[in-house]
Amino acid sequence: MPKSKLIGEVVSASNKKTVVVEVERIKEHPKYKRRYKVHKRYKAHDEKEEAKVGDKVMIEECRPVSRDKRWKVTEIVTTRKISPENEENFTQEENTENQE
């Protein structure tokens, strides 16, 4: 049986060799046929610690690495668009725009 592969966005990379990946799926209501988004978070093993917050990554099913980790990062599909130096300025600008 082939291993499942999912593509999602890294939401957290604060732990050593672990990233939290949020995968978005579109489901359809069985009765009303309306499509809606469903999000699920997976903890994935990142051996080289290459993935950063905001990156799109591909994760693959693997044997259990720890209590929560059943996935591993196979490749980084796209990197984040914000440089680490400008990350603080970017979040501050968003907050001031929302307050106005």
Predicted local confidence at residue 56, as pLDDT: 97
- Look at residue 100 and tell me whether its pLDDT is greater than 80: no
The DSSP symbol for 66 reads S
The CATH number of the domain holding residue 27 is 2.40.50.140
Predicted local confidence at residue 1, as pLDDT: 84
Cβ atoms of residues 21 and 70 within 8 Å: no
* Domains in the chain, number: 1
pTM over 0.95: no
Instruction: Residue 70: give the domain boundaries.
Output: 5-99
User: pLDDT digits over 61-94, tens only?
Assistant: 999 999 999 999 999 999 987 655 665 655 555 5
